[in-house]
């Protein structure tokens, strides 16, 4: 159940992506083709030690993404999901979001930045606290790191 909720939240977060310079990714910057390496990590909470374990890698994938602006709207085509509109303002205006659903609390911390003129990185860390009558509170955290390099 937590995995389904996680995938729903991650899908929502990644589709929602300021046109501004100074390290920010802009629509114009993204136009073109990108080779992206995606890594997903998870960590569990040890209630006895009151700390999270080190992250362990869940998956690592490589995808190609293409961006273009059509009628003022940034569109993304990708080998790993359906075509989607991308709104960078949603990322930059919501770097930290909190939500509650199905007896769970979610905190998302996001960052999207330019590494160079040909590279950008998206990072997201999600903390999940779920209440269960039988098990009490379970805590976990997930991290996604996506590094994309322009394809020439």
**Residue 41 vs residue 83, higher pLDDT:** 41
- Which band of pLDDT confidence, cut at 50, 70 and 90, is reported for residue 22? low
What pLDDT does residue 23 have?
Answer: 84
Query: How far apart are alpha carbons 139 and 127 in whole angstroms?
Result: 7
- Which band of pLDDT confidence, cut at 50, 70 and 90, is reported for residue 18? very low
How far are the Cα atoms of 11, 19, 108, 133 from residue 92, in angstroms, in the given order? 17, 10, 13, 37
CB atoms within 10 A of CB 150: 16
Please provide the average confidence, as pLDDT, over all residues in the chain: 85
What pLDDT does residue 10 have?
Answer: 45
Q: What is the DSSP letter of 50?
A: T
The pTM is what? 0.76
| pLDDT average, residue stretch 85-113 | 92
Query: How far apart are alpha carbons 45 and 52 in whole angstroms?
Result: 4
């Amino acid at each position: 159940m937590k995995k389904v909720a996680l995938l729903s939240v991650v899908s929502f977060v990644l589709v929602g992506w300021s046109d501004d310079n100074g390290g920010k990714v802009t629509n114009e910057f993204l136009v073109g083709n990108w080779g992206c390496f995606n890594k997903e990590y998870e960590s569990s909470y040890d209630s006895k030690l009151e700390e999270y374990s080190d992250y362990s890698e869940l998956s690592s994938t490589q995808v190609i993404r293409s961006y273009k602006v059509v009628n003022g709207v940034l569109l993304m085509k990708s080998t790993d999901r359906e075509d989607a509109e991308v709104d960078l303002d949603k990322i930059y205006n919501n770097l930290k979001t909190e939500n509650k659903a199905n007896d769970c609390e979610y905190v998302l911390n996001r960052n999207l930045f330019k590494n160079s003129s040909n590279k950008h990185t998206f990072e997201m860390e999600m903390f999940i606290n779920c209440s269960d009558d039988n098990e009490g509170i379970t805590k976990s955290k997930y991290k996604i790191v996506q590094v994309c390099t322009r394809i020439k």
